[in-house]
Chain A
Amino acid sequence: MGIISRGFRGRRTEGGDRLPPGQYLEHGFPVLSAGPTPRVPLDRWEFAIDTETGQTHRWTWPELTALPAETPTVDIHCVTKWSKFDTNWEGVSLDTLFEDVETSVEYAQVYSYGGYTTNLPLEDLLDGKAWLAYRYDGEELEPRHGGPVRLLVPHLYFWKSAKWVRGIRLTNEDWPGFWETAGYHNYGDPWREQRYEGD
Chain B
Amino acid sequence: MRRLIWRAATLVEVRAETATARTLVLDVPGWPGHLAGQHLDVRLTADDGYSAQRSYSLAAPADGERIELTVELVDDGEVSPYLTEVIEVGDQVEVRGPVGGWFVWRPESRAPVLLVAGGSGIVPLMAMIRARRLAGSRTPFRLLYSLRDPGRRYYAAELRRPEPGLDITYLYTRTTPEDWPRKAGRVMLGDLAESGWPADFEPDCYVCGPTGFVEVAADLLLDLGHAPEHVRTERFGPSGG
Contact = CB atoms under 8 A, between A and B. Distances in A.
B237 A10 contact: no
A144 B238 contact: no
B100 A35 contact: no
Interface stretch (B39-47, B107-115, B168-176): B39-47
B135 interface: no
A4 B232 CA distance: 36
B172 to A, nearest CB: 24
Interface size class of A (residues with CB under 8 A): 35 or more
Given A30-B237, A199-B4, A36 B228 contact: yes
B91 A7 contact: yes
Nearest to A8: B44
| B interface, over-half SS | mixed
Q: Chain B: interface residue count, which band? A: 35 or more
B78 A10 contact: yes
A35 B218 CA distance: 8
Interface stretch (A21-29, A62-70, A129-137, A150-158): A21-29
A128 interface: no
A176 to B, nearest CB: 12
Contact of B45 (A5, A38, A198): A5
Nearest to B233: A35
A36 B93 contact: no
30 contacts: A1-B49, A2-B6, A2-B43, A3-B93, A3-B94, A4-B92, A5-B82, A5-B87, A5-B92, A6-B88, A7-B82, A8-B82, A10-B44, A10-B51, A11-B78, A12-B50, A13-B78, A24-B52, A30-B235, A31-B215, A33-B233, A36-B221, A36-B233, A37-B215, A81-B55, A144-B211, A182-B100, A183-B101, A196-B99, A197-B1
